[in-house]
């Protein structure tokens, strides 16, 4: 018994020792395996050029905690790495082939980084891989893997890379593949018909490549498909395969923007599980198939930007789940069916640029869900429905370029969700609803080219406006501009031209610190141009033409350093052109015409680039473009400004001119004295000068100087009548010498009616021009 009792402890001790030895060996093996996998991951990280700091945990000294490294997931025994997820980790560089040494990997997700170059060709070594996501990277090259080795792969997502070549045929060997996305790459060629053999697929996307040819009808065999995307940048020949009508499990079909032509197959009406059908931006023709009214699950239907004709099918009244209906940019016609307004889930309705006629359904918006409505560029008439914003959800309202008339519904002034309104180019009348311009989320307001009247309403709330563009041009709005116009602090474009506004431009307009374009032309505004306009630093376009503005052009306007266009023509502005405008280097076009501006046009800076027509219609304005300026047309202030820049040149010119006059005067005085002395010494001698060949001599002239031949006397001398030997009558004027107190040029009383065609004058220095030919001058 004692021996037996001693054997038992020894036996248990041996078992314990054996267990400890095995446990130590197992732990050592476990740690070695962890260290090996950690070494692989560290090697993979070394090929990264940059990465998120979280990947600093990938450190070999920390290998015992491998399963807690960032992006690493191990199996339930914390022994083998089964998932690597380093998505969106700001990684750039390449993916090392060492990653394929992690043979236990089931999931590899690299999406949302900047991996470049090709993927490792040895990827097929990851035979347990079920998910491979390399989307949204820069991987390039062709996918020439041994796909047959990836027997467990269920998800292959290569979306949005730089992959090229033809679509790989090897993917058809992936028997368990359910999700295939090769979209957003540069694959070329055609879609292989063999892709129709992957009947286990429930998701297929080949959109956004360079694929050509026709869409193979074999894709209609993928009856498990729920989502199919083939559009965007692909350019297919032919149309939509009728075989797609067999895809009875399809929920989302997107064939947009891929050059499809021909009619819409009526077979698509068989897809009763379809909730999204996108066929927009193709070349589809013919009518909309009534069979599409059988799409009882459809929520989003977009057939826009094609060449479809005919009416909206009445069968669409059964699309009770429809939330989006886009039929714009087609050739549809007829009236908008009344049932469209009765679709209970409808949120977005865009039918613009068709040939729809008739009225907008009166109940549109009564479902309380409408968020976007665009019926522009049709031939619609009638009133704007009152219920459009009944649900207080309407964000976009575009009805421009139609024949709508009548007033705007007052409820629009309380539609606080609106942010985009375009109602221009209609026949709307009445006033602008109170609050409509001041809605809290409003960014764009267009009411131009209508017949709106009365005053622009003042802002009554203190809510900060987000309005960026307002166009009220070409209406019949009247009264003063509201002072609350200055509250549009985000306004970039303000167009108020072609109305009947009166009064002054409010000074609050200077509070528009972000305005780029300001047009208040063609109104009846009066008063001065407010200097506060110069406080609009971003203004590039300013048009105040065709008003009744008066006063000077404010110099403060030159503080707008990026102003490109300025038109203040056809007003009553006066005073001179500010010379400071010449320093506005950004100003390439300006019009000051048809005002009451005066003074001279500055001839420097930007003024030298303006068109000559920019200054016409200002009678008191002068300069190089118009009539030359003189002293009488130049104001003292402007004359001072102009002369100040050229004072030194003018002073020198005046000095030289004065000296020249002095020298000439002295010379003439000396000659006059000498001449007078010679006359006194030779008082009985004659000097005869002939200006043309004559038929008589001086003797014949002297015979005429007789008392009985006198025909007139004056302070300058006596005129005698004479008859030459040739029978030609002449008149001889005997000029008296200059004496003290005599007049320089008194003339004769008979000179203005002298009958003789010729006159003889003397002396030469006293000759007076008479209205006759002067053949001879006689100097006494």
pLDDT for 195-225, tens place per residue? 999 999 999 999 999 999 999 999 999 999 9
Residues 6+ apart with CB under 8 A from 682: none
Q: How far apart are CA 443 and CA 465, in angstroms?
A: 8
What are the two backbone dihedrals, phi and then psi, of residue 617, each rounded to the nearest 5 degrees? 80, 15
Contact between residue 584 and residue 604 where contact means Cβ atoms under 8 Å apart: no
pLDDT of res. 701: 67
Bond before 519 cis per omega within 30 degrees:
no
Contact between residue 489 and residue 514 where contact means Cβ atoms under 8 Å apart: yes
Separate counts of helices (H) and strands (E) for the chain: 4, 52
Mean pLDDT by 10 residues, the chain (780 residues): 50 46 53 85 89 89 86 87 92 92 92 92 91 94 90 94 94 94 95 94 96 95 96 93 96 96 96 96 96 96 97 95 97 96 96 97 96 97 96 97 97 96 97 94 97 90 87 97 91 97 95 96 97 96 97 95 96 95 93 95 90 91 80 42 41 53 61 50 41 52 69 56 66 51 36 34 33 33
Tokens at 441, concatenated:
């989320």
What are the two backbone dihedrals, phi and then psi, of residue 117, each rounded to the nearest 5 degrees? 65, -165
For 126-141, letters b (16+ CB in 10 Å) and e give bebbbbbbbbbbebbe
DSSP 602-629: P-SGGGGGS-GGGSTT-TEEESTTSSPP
Domains of the chain (ranges; CATH) run 33-181 (3.80.10.10), 190-335 (3.80.10.10), 686-779 (3.30.200)
Contact between residue 174 and residue 156 where contact means Cβ atoms under 8 Å apart: yes
pLDDT of res. 34: 83
Is residue 551 packed enough to be buried (19+ CB in 10 Å), middle (13-18) or exposed (0-12)? middle
pLDDT of res. 22: 46
Q: How far apart are CA 442 and CA 503, in angstroms?
A: 27
Q: Give the strand pairing for 717-723 and 729-735.
A: antiparallel
Residues 6+ apart with CB under 8 A from 576: 552, 597, 598, 599, 600, 635, 637, 638
For 420-441, letters b (16+ CB in 10 Å) and e give bbbbbbbebeebbbebbbbbee
pLDDT of res. 62: 85
pLDDT of res. 658: 56
Residues 6+ apart with CB under 8 A from 656: none
pLDDT of res. 468: 96
Dihedral over Cα of 686, 692, 697, 699: its sign: negative
pLDDT of res. 269: 95
Is residue 216 packed enough to be buried (19+ CB in 10 Å), middle (13-18) or exposed (0-12)? middle
Tokens at 167, concatenated:
């679509």
pLDDT of res. 630: 73
pLDDT for 83-116, tens place per residue? 999 999 999 999 999 999 998 899 999 999 999 9
Q: Is the pTM of this model over 0.85?
A: no
Crossing angle of helices 636-644 and 647-681, rounded to 10°: 100
pLDDT of res. 289: 97
Total Cβ atoms within 10 A of residue 613: 11
How far does the chain reach from its first CA to its final CA, in angstroms?
Answer: 189
Contact between residue 331 and residue 310 where contact means Cβ atoms under 8 Å apart: no
pLDDT of res. 19: 45
* Residues forming a β-bridge with 518: 494, 542
């Amino acid at each position: 018994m004692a021996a037996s009792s001693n054997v038992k402890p020894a036996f248990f001790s041996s078992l314990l020792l054996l267990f400890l030895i095995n446990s130590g060996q197992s732990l050592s093996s476990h740690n070695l395996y962890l260290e090996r996998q950690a070494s692989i991951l560290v090697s993979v990280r070394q090929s990264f050029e940059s990465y998120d700091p979280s990947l600093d945990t990938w450190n070999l000294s920390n290998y015992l905690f491998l399963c807690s490294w960032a992006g690493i997931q191990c199996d339930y025994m914390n022994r083998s790495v089964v998932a690597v997820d380093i998505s969106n980790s700001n990684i750039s560089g390449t993916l090392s082939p060492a990653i394929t040494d992690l043979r236990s990997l089931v999931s590899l997700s690299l999406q949302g980084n900047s991996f470049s170059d090709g993927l490792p060709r040895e990827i097929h070594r990851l035979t347990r891989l079920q998910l491979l996501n390399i989307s949204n990277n820069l991987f390039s090259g062709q996918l020439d893997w041994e796909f047959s080795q990836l027997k467990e792969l269920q998800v292959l997502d290569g979306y949005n890379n730089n992959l090229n070549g033809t679509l790989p045929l090897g993917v058809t060997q992936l028997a368990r593949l359910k999700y295939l996305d090769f979209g957003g790459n540069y694959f070329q060629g055609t879609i292989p018909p063999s892709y129709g053999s992957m009947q286990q697929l429930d998701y297929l996307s080949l959109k956004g490549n360079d694929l050509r040819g026709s869409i193979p009808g074999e894709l209609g065999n993928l009856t498990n498909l729920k989502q199919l995307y083939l559009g965007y940048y692909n350019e297919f020949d032919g149309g939509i395969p009728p075989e797609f009508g067999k895809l009875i499990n399809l929920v989302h079909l997107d064939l947009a923007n891929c050059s499809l032509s021909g009619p819409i197959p009526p077979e698509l009406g068989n897809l009763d599980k379809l909730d999204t059908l996108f066929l927009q931006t193709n070349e589809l023709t013919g009518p909309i198939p009534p069979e599409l009214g059988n799409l009882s699950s459809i929520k989003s239907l977009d057939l826009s930007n094609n060449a479809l004709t005919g009416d909206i099918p009445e069968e669409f009244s059964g699309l009770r789940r429809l939330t989006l209906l886009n039929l714009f940019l087609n050739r549809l016609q007829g009236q908008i069916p009344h049932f469209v307004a009765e679709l209970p889930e409808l949120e977005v309705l865009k039918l613009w640029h068709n040939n729809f006629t008739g009225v907008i359904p009166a109940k549109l918006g009564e479902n309380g869900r409408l968020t976007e409505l665009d019926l522009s560029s049709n031939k619609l008439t009638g009133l704007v429905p009152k219920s459009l914003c009944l649900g207080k959800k309407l964000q976009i309202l575009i009805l421009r370029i139609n024949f709508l008339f009548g007033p705007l519904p007052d409820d629009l002034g309380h539609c606080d969700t609106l942010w985009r309104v375009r109602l221009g180019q209609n026949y709307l009348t009445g006033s602008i609803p109170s609050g409509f311009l001041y809605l809290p989320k409003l960014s764009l307001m267009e009411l131009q080219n209508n017949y709106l009247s009365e005053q622009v309403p003042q802002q009554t709330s203190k809510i900060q406006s987000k309005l960026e563009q307002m166009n009220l041009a070409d209406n019949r709005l009247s009264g003063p501009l509201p002072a609350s116009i200055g509250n549009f602090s985000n306004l970039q474009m303000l167009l108020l031209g072609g109305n009947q506004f009166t009064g002054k431009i409010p000074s609050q307009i200077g509070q528009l610190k972000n305005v780029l374009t300001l047009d208040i032309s063609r109104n009846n505004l009066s008063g001065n141009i407010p200097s506060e306009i110069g406080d609009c630093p971003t203004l590039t376009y300013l048009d105040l033409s065709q008003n009744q503005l008066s006063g000077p052009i404010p110099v403060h306007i030159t503080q707008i350093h990026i102003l490109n266009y300025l038109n203040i023509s056809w007003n009553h502005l006066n005073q001179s052109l500010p010379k400071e405008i010449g320093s506005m280097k950004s100003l390439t076009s300006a019009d000051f015409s048809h005002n009451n501006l005066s003074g001279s046009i500055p001839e420097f800076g930007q003024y030298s680039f303006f068109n000559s027509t920019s200054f016409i219609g200002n009678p008191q304005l002068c300069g190089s473009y118009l009539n030359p300026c003189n002293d009488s047309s130049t104001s003292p202030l402007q004359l001072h400004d102009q002369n100040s820049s050229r004072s030194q040149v003018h002073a020198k010119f005046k000095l030289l001119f004065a000296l020249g006059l002095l020298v000439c005067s002295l010379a003439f005085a000396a000659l006059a004295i000498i001449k007078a002395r010679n006359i006194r010494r030779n008082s009985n001698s004659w000097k005869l000068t002939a200006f043309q060949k004559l038929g008589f001599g001086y003797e014949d002239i002297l015979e005429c100087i007789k008392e009985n031949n006198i025909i007139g006397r004056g302070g300058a001398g006596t005129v005698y009548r004479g008859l030459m030997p040739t029978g030609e009558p002449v008149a001889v004027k005997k000029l008296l010498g200059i004496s003290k107190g005599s007049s320089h040029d008194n003339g004769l009383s008979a000179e203005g009616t002298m009958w003789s065609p010729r006159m003889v004058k003397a002396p030469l220095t006293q000759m007076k021009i008479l209205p006759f030919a002067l053949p001879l001058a006689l100097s006494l």
